Amino acid sequence: MGMAINHLPQIREECEIREECEVFHMSDKQIREIMSRLHNDLLKGLAKDTHANSIVKCWITYIQDLPNGKERGKFLALDLGGTNFRVLIINLGENHFDMKSKIYAIPTHIMTGTGVALFDHIAECLANFMKENDVYKERLALGFTFSFPLRQLGLTKGLLQRWTKGFSCSGVVGEDVVQGLKDAIARRGDVQIDICAILNDTTGTLMSCAWKNHNCKIGLIVGTGSNACYVEKTENCEIFDGEPGKPELLINTEWGAFGDDGTLDFVRTEFDREVDTKSINPGKQIQEKMISGMYMGELVRLALVKYTRMGLLFGGRGSDLLFQRGSFYTKYVSEIESDKPGDFSSCMDVLEELGLSHATEADMASVRHVCECVSRRAAHLVSAGIATLLNKMNEPRVTVGIDGSVYRFHPHFHTLMCEKIAQLVRPGIQFDLMLSEDGSGRGAALVAAVACRQQLSYA
């Protein structure tokens, strides 16, 4: 009997933590309500009268043609969307696709410096890349993936709405980023690059998957940030001011901002509110902060801190690192959930890194439970969004092209999404989730290639 009595406090603590974690659970009724609110926000974004004040902007991408497999030639792609950027050269042949790429870092002082310095740095890396790949003297078309909120005014014109993901370069918000890059290339005067298109990573993901799979009509990112784009009927886009005559149009929802007006407050927790308050953009990107890799680890950390202070975890003893903001990386969530049931080796490694080597097996089970609750909620929120788009499009079969570190590396995200979307879509709608291969790189080159294909057909 003595043994069992010793375990009672542990069992009680585990139960209390499970009760506390209920705040991360969203009922089916709540999820349906989220879908209804998102659907209304999409309609507001697409309509002329409500677009200006809409939260989910539904920006026009000016892309009306998907790849058809007949694109040919050499193309450059530039992918700027986080603390690194990539330059790629892609050679499209009849049955082959050759690609070389290089990753360049963006130092913090450039991320928070001037726009001129940022674009000069990018132009210098572009020129160096062209030298290394023996195309320095060639004139090449470039697709520019720019994964920040962008108001597009054309295929090669886009105004930055606001910086996200830790950037705050001055003199860029409200300006045309294509012009910023063109000016930097012109200041150098040593390379010939035609910027054929600007797009975001979500659009690139869709284009990259559509090259292989013509059913791909939705692009989704679940990585540092979260966003989705989809193929809409042109007649539903009152704000479209491009060339008439084509039935479909790619819409960049910018759904990360869903909830910025309070529509998600009914499912947000104290941890969400704290993450938001301490972020560099309080009150903005509310849905993104509940989903994406930039915040998921911090949500888990804040929950662990609370439960430790309540005496429910680690015998009430935390560590300096646990109490330090940003110390619990999102990759830890994926690693901890990758352990098989009953095995806590990854969890033990993570807790040791955080100075919590005194954690018991019961503590580890609780830490894993917290991770599961936060990541499941993220997967269900994303699923609610995708199901809303699928129901709105109302097509019999749609492939969703997906990229981003959370979807790619989290062990259960794909399965959680498949199960939840299947529950939420209308009967008769079939869907597949397809991991994108290098959407923001290959996708950018494909947008440039399709643009060139169009120009050739009009020439």
User: Would you please indicate which residues are annotated as catalytic (active-site) residues?
Assistant: 165, 201
Cβ–Cβ under 8 Å, residues 399 and 367 = no
For the four alpha carbons of 278, 283, 285 and 290, in that order, the dihedral sign comes to positive
- Alpha carbons within 13 A on the beta-carbon side of 37: 22
User: Strands, DSSP E only, in 8-83?
Assistant: 59-60, 73-80
- Residues in contact with 95: Cβ distance below 8 Å, sequence separation at least 6, in sequence order: none
Residues 449, 211: Cα–Cα separation, whole Å: 11
Cβ–Cβ under 8 Å, residues 253 and 229 = yes
* Phi, psi dihedrals of residue 100, rounded to the nearest 5°: -125, 140
Q: Count CB atoms within 10 A of the CB of residue 352.
A: 12
E strand or H helix at 349 = helix 345-353
Residues 229, 45: Cα–Cα separation, whole Å: 13
**Alpha carbon 35 to chain centroid, angstroms:** 19
DSSP 176: B
DSSP 187: H
DSSP 262: S
Please state, in angstroms and as integers, the Cα–Cα distance from residue 128 to each residue in 137, 181, 197, 250, following that order. Answer: 12, 15, 22, 33
Cβ–Cβ under 8 Å, residues 278 and 325 = yes
- Angle of the 345-353 helix axis to the 330-338 helix axis, nearest 10: 150
